[in-house]
Structure 1
Amino acid sequence: MPPSALGRLGLLLRDRGLQAGFGVLALLVLVDLRRDLLLTATYSASAIIASMLTTARRTAAVAAASVVMAFVVGYLDEGTEGTEWLLRAWLGVALAILAVVSAVVRDRREERLRRMTVIAATAQQALLSSLPARLGEVGLAARYVSATAAAQIGGDLYEASFTPYGVRMIVGDVKGKGLEAVQVAASVLSAFRHAAVTETDIGAVARALDATVGGMVSDEDFVTAIVAEFTTDRVTLANCGHPSPMLVAGRAASSLEPSEHTLPLGLGADPVLTTHDWPEGARMLLYTDGLVEARDDRGRFFSLDEHANLLSRGSLEQALDHLVDQLLQHAGTQVDDDLALVLTEHHP
């Protein structure tokens, strides 16, 4: 048998839908033959179970087998006398057809969902263009970690611009999922690119973004974001309801909490700016809440404080790789929410 045929056979044998369908069929036939319970009409339950777990084509194989067995067992039990066994067999045929139709509908619905997910993912990836390795005195590296296949595409965003006022950056997270969240993220990034080079301070940048978001979302929707401005030896932050960045300078790591918590964008954000030292060699991680809200199998959140030492190891790219590896180990190789990470370093 050719290797390709052996591979297809192996896939068929590992198909849980086929295993469940033929397993249930064998069990029903065995019980019927031993107990004489006249279960022929229920043989198609095997096809119904298969329709929940496998493709329409494989469901049809289970359905055909259940119908054949219904006629054969019914004939062996009662022969050709009477029509009761025949009626039960035809009832099994009807149930088998229903199972195949159900599998076809499920396959089409899942295919539409896959197409929409691909479209949303492509749109999001187009938004999150690669950051340069360096802007002025700021080294940059970014990661985007997608959630499980079951989760919808989110609206995580990041961008950095070299401006007359210094290097300005935004990291944000749109409330909600799907294409609507991606569209809001696109509008926020577009507004940031304009405001970053025209507004004299990042407080004004945040207010401009708030007006943009407020004009396109409902009262219950919003965008958490943090806008940062890097100058020679200072970093200024405008935090709009977003997780605080982590600063690593030497062996010390600290969370840069805002002096006053501010509403997210779209809800009237007017952040109080905070300024922090930005020494040579210091690194700062900006991230979305998918990082600190990732849970392990016991429900414990990922602790960024416990893993802050990873941020100073190796290059920026290597440091992010180490952090993502630890995150995936904590969450069991998959996360339930998308997350964006941007790691910066001061290079005079």
Structure 2
Amino acid sequence: MRSQVVLRYLPFAVLLAVAVTDLMAGRDLGFLPLLTLGPTFASVYGSVRRTAFVGVAALALCVPLAAYQGTLLTRQNNITIATVAGVTAASMIVSRLRLRRERELANVRLVAEAAQRVLLRPVPRRAADLRIALSYTSAAAEAQIGGDLYEVVTTPHGVRLLIGDVQGKGLTAVETAAWVLGAFREAAYDMSELTEVGERLEASLGRHLSAETFVTAILAEVHDEEISLLNFGHPAPLLIRGEGKIITVDPPEESLPLGLGALATDRPKPHRVAFGVGDQILLFTDGVIEARNRAGDFYPLTDRTGLLLAGEPQEALDALRADLIQHVGGPLPDDAAMLLLRRHLS
């Protein structure tokens, strides 16, 4: 907000600075050509009308300053006036093109965000004996919509969930997320084993996407006192015991992301970890742990999970999200999704 105020008044400050400098320098030195900086800076932020106004103000200053210097109506002054007028006209064109591009980017972003809202349905706040919380923070960088995805469904085989991150950004990433979510929502009900759900996703991506596209993901299935995790090259989730102990749930073996299964010799296998009453598990995308502050330090997620120990799951996750944004000190460079499951008594 402060930078916008600076850009708004910068052209007038430049004109004033040039005028004062020209008066203080006396009649031997002429700084009038520097008045062209006013409309030039105006085109960076202002509208076409505002840029024209700044140009007119520059021309209005040029006349009395030239009269003070004794150069009014001379060849040198006429060239200066023509230069200011020419730069003003060029700056107006630049301003018009900039505004058109900004509108186009805004429209693309609105379309992509609408598509994401359709794809990423609200997750249930309760499922069986689970309390579920979701945080999704979209990156605020032009139209760079990301491909983070998530889903929680209650099936005949238990509560199953998915969190993932599509390689790339923009509408292509949203399209890929649509294929993954569609395949998961169908396979989660049809397939009895979590491994079969993963194979269905791999087959779907292989049919519809190019070889260069891949998706890191975790599939999970909740059991009595346990949770199964099937990791496809995704950041390992954090398991938070009821007493506050934090465990990074790394897979027993590294595996390739979805979409690259043809390059792997073995398919990843689910692994189970204890998940009892009072325990929580936090699944997240790399936009969380790769977020940096101004000093270049990554967000220390493991050190901040204490925020998840108090209050309702959604309140606790909102507090963690606020801490993440405070760490970055501005818009996140990448989308960041977090899914928190807390086990309660049935």
**Normalising by the residue count of structure 2, what TM-score does the alignment of the two structures yield?**
0.90
RMSD of aligned C-alpha atoms? 2.2
Q: Counterpart of 1:121 in structure 2: which amino acid?
A: E
SS in 1 for 2:160: strand
> 1:81, CA displacement in angstroms?
5.7
Residues in 1 aligned to 2:93 and 2:234: alpha-carbon distance in whole angstroms:
48
Q: Deviations over 1:276-318 (max 9, x none)?
A: 1221222111111111111222222122221223222221112
The match for 2:247 among 232, 247, 254 is 254
Q: How does 1:1-348 map to 2 (within 5 A)?
A: 15-33=5-23, 34-36=25-27, 37-78=29-70, 82-150=74-142, 152-251=144-243, 252-268=245-261, 270-347=267-344, 348=346
Deviation at 1:113, TM superposition (A): 1.0
> Partners in 2 of 1:80 and 1:170 — Cα distance?
74
Distance 2:32 2:239 in 1: 70
Describe the superposition over 1:146-178 as per-residue Cα deviations: whole angstroms up to 9, x where unpaired: 223457211111001111211110000111111
User: Residues of 1 paired with 2:327 and 2:107: CA distance?
Assistant: 30
Q: Which residue of 2 aligns with 1:5?
A: none
Whether contact under 8 Å (2:161, 2:221) holds in the other structure is: yes
* Amino-acid identity (%): 36
The one-letter code matched in structure 2 to 1:286 is L
User: What is the number of residues matched between the two proteins?
Assistant: 337
8 Å contact kept, 1:151–1:337: no
Q: Distance in 2 between the 1:280 and 1:42 partners?
A: 72
Q: Which runs of 5+ in 2 are unaligned?
A: none
Q: CA deviation at 1:271?
A: 1.5
Identify unmatched segments of 5+ residues in structure 1: 1-10
User: 1:81 & 1:212 partners in 2: Cα distance?
Assistant: 75
Q: Give yes or no for contact 2:26–2:69 (8 Å, CA) kept in 1.
A: no
Partner of 1:4: none
- The Cα of 1:339 is off from its aligned counterpart by 0.9
- Where 1:43 maps in the other structure, the secondary structure is helix
Query: Which secondary structure does the structure 2 equivalent of 1:271 belong to?
Result: coil
SS at structure 1 position matched to 2:139: coil
- Which is worse superposed, 149-158 or 199-208? 149-158
Aligned residues of 1:283 and 1:343 also touching (Cα < 8 A): yes
Q: Aligned-pair distance for 1:28? A: 2.2
Task: For 1:311 and 1:340, locate their aligned partners in 2 and report how far apart those are by CA, in whole Å.
Answer: 15
